[in-house]
Structure 1
Amino acid sequence: MTSPTMYLPSVFTAGSGGGNPAPIWLDADSMSSALMLAETKAQGFESAYVLRPESSENHLRLRFFVPEHEMSMCGHATIGALWILREIGRLPRVEVLRIETPSGLVTAKVSRAPEAISISQPWGEVQVLSDTNLQDIARVLQIAPGTIGFVANAKTSRVKTVVELKSVADLQNLKPDWAAIGPLCQKLETTGLYPFAKGDAPWLFHARQFPNNSGYPEDAATGIAAAALACALSQSSSLLADSGLVRVRQGETMGRPSEIGVYINASEKTCWISGICTLD
């Protein structure tokens, strides 16, 4: 059996030092769950482990961990794994890849262009939250309730709480009560808060991700959250067309500029995440 090997790409890069680092372990079939968690803790980032698929109809299987626990799905780590496999010539040459994940089957489209790796997400389920929830969110983000607009729990692979702020400055100046984020996320039944604001171009948004119980306070780029946001914007009539590319910039306050592309088609109820990778 081939020994596991780790690569460390940055995913969704949008400038020098940008993107979200994603440790990718190839040939991880011999690794136990405890070892995967230990290696993830040692690296300190969301990690993906590439294994042989359980079904011969599929091309690979992925497991995902944050430093505190296993996850059902991670968008940037999936794209990072596919990018590494493509770069070293180990990606099957098929039009559409079928990937087994704990959250279900994910499909991917891969070409040679640097940004041309896209993965599918389920169409989002959106639940608008109450005024009481808004007050709770404002208290944890330590901002005035009047600064907040649209708030909802949005789910593609996992639930994220999307929180609209009035300006990019309001977003970048956030100083949350870090200790209160976990309890609030548990109350809202979400895996993270995703405050966002409109950018200076159509279909461009800026966002920050404050995860629940992941082992770090903020995320530089979060594909699943960006997909949930794009679907929520579509269903709240915040976008000017039925389909198109939503661009979400993240990681700016962390010094890791990132951009996530989410192509949505509301009529077909389809959602695809894409982005650029680099190997530092």
Structure 2
Amino acid sequence: MPARTSWSSPRSASVSTPSARTRRPPGGRRIPVRVDFVTCDVFTSRPFAGNPLLVVPDASGLGAASMQAIAREINYSESTFVLPADDPAHAYRQRTFVPLAEIPYAGHPTVGTALVLSWLGRVAPPSGGTGTAAITIEVGFGPLPLDVRFEAARATRVRMAQGKPEWGEPVRDPAFLARLSEGLRIPRDAVGGGLPVRAVSTGNRFLIVPVGSVAALEGADPDPRLVVAVERELGTLGTYAFAFAPGGRIRARGFASGAGVPEDPATGSAAGPLGIYLALERALPDPAGRFLVDQGIEMGRPSELEVEVDRREDGTPAGVHVSGSAVRMMTGSLEV
């Protein structure tokens, strides 16, 4: 049955204890179940920017089919559903859905969910109210450490470790690069910019595509059918195209049409692989391994992602962290 939605501004509404229990009367006819949610904009410090996220703080009683239906109904890049952790030493278990499928995890949902649960009092601030609370959550590939930053007892920022880095060989096949250029609608001589195309994963596998200039990146107008075909050849969730920008910053655009996300305003699970990629290519904007990514500009939803790459003595990447903030937007409920 169609989902009915109600919502209210967080500035005027209180958050009730969420419930997602299935109810059936003796006659067997199913009664709609109320599912409470919170939304926020992630990787931004102001409303109506960044990447929107729906969080169901208590998804107990919801099956995977209902979670997928809610994600498809809301149609954000991702929606998350919080469950008790399997390990009592962990804070919670997070299931993450794009409109068309469940995925192991994603960046902006992980940052946003941790902040929402902190605002609801389910992640305690450190003694004194200011500082960092270290927690571990459970996602599709296992435990994931997070650092939640608090200011005056309010959570303001999350620093997220990502999964073990893995990468493929550089893609140099001219026919493949021609198909990629055609799919992204970026001139062939702008794809690469002196660096190779490569698939990289820190939990989700993305095709990292360097572009020769910010102007060429801004002009990209992907053909979803062609881009999805290219992604399937390399088994990637999406494509993350980037260009070097002034001031040591990176401009990026993320595309995942195969997952139901034609373009993403902020993609934390691709910004991490980008950091690994830049370390592999010895192309980090800052020798210290820290840089900022600007994404969502072309969508009118500017986002800022902070990336920190951990390297071994020989310079090869060992791991990566992605950090960001969020703004609470709505509370409400669906009947499913």
TM-score by length of 1: 0.94
For structure 1, the residue ranges without an aligned partner over 5 or more in a row are: none
Picking from 139, 146, 159, the partner of 1:108 is: 146
Give 3-state SS (helix, strand or coil) of 1:157's partner.
coil
Query: Counterparts of 1:206 and 1:240 in 2: how far apart (Å)?
Result: 12
Give 3-state SS (helix, strand or coil) of 1:154's partner.
strand
Aligned residue for 2:178?
Answer: 135
Whether the 8 Å CA contact 1:20–1:221 is kept in 2: the answer is yes
What is the alpha-carbon root mean square deviation over aligned residues? 1.8
Superposition pairs for residues 1-280 of structure 1, below 5 Å?
Answer: 3-4=19-20, 5-13=36-44, 17-45=48-76, 46-93=78-125, 95-113=133-151, 115-127=156-168, 128-132=170-174, 133-149=176-192, 150=195, 151-202=197-248, 204-239=249-284, 243-267=288-312, 269-280=318-329
Query: Counterparts of 2:40 and 2:90 in 1: how far apart (Å)?
Result: 24
Give 3-state SS (helix, strand or coil) of 1:218's partner.
strand
Whether the 8 Å CA contact 1:243–1:266 is kept in 2: the answer is no
Distance 1:196 1:14, change over 3 A: farther
Query: Counterparts of 1:163 and 1:31 in 2: how far apart (Å)?
Result: 38
Residue 27 of structure 1 and its aligned partner are, at CA, apart by 1.0
Query: Counterparts of 2:79 and 2:18 in 1: how far apart (Å)?
Result: 19
Query: Counterparts of 2:265 and 2:241 in 1: how far apart (Å)?
Result: 13
Whether the 8 Å CA contact 1:10–1:22 is kept in 2: the answer is yes
Query: Counterparts of 1:119 and 1:63 in 2: how far apart (Å)?
Result: 16
Query: Counterparts of 2:46 and 2:59 in 1: how far apart (Å)?
Result: 31
2:52 partner amino acid: P
Distance 1:10 1:16, change over 3 A: closer
Residue 130 of structure 1 and its aligned partner are, at CA, apart by 2.1
Question: Radius of gyration: which is bigger?
Answer: 2
Query: Counterparts of 1:18 and 1:165 in 2: how far apart (Å)?
Result: 24
Give 3-state SS (helix, strand or coil) of 1:89's partner.
coil
1:74-111 Cα distance to aligned partner (Å, 9 max, x none): 11111111101111211145742111111221100112
1:30 partner amino acid: G
Query: Counterparts of 1:212 and 1:162 in 2: how far apart (Å)?
Result: 15
Moved more, 61-70 or 144-153: 144-153
Query: Counterparts of 1:238 and 1:15 in 2: how far apart (Å)?
Result: 31
Query: Counterparts of 1:115 and 1:239 in 2: how far apart (Å)?
Result: 27
Query: Counterparts of 2:156 and 2:219 in 1: how far apart (Å)?
Result: 30
For structure 2, the residue ranges without an aligned partner over 5 or more in a row are: 1-16, 21-35, 127-132, 330-336
Residue 2 of structure 1 and its aligned partner are, at CA, apart by 5.2
Whether the 8 Å CA contact 2:39–2:53 is kept in 1: the answer is yes
Query: Counterparts of 1:158 and 1:111 in 2: how far apart (Å)?
Result: 25
2:213 partner amino acid: S
Give 3-state SS (helix, strand or coil) of 1:243's partner.
coil
Distance 1:21 1:248, change over 3 A: same
Runs of 4+, deviation exceeding 4 Å: none
Whether the 8 Å CA contact 2:265–2:303 is kept in 1: the answer is yes
Give 3-state SS (helix, strand or coil) of 2:230's partner.
helix
Query: Counterparts of 1:260 and 1:19 in 2: how far apart (Å)?
Result: 10
Whether the 8 Å CA contact 1:209–1:222 is kept in 2: the answer is yes
Residue 245 of structure 1 and its aligned partner are, at CA, apart by 1.8
Give 3-state SS (helix, strand or coil) of 1:116's partner.
strand
Aligned residues: 279
Query: Counterparts of 1:15 and 1:169 in 2: how far apart (Å)?
Result: 26
Give 3-state SS (helix, strand or coil) of 1:201's partner.
helix
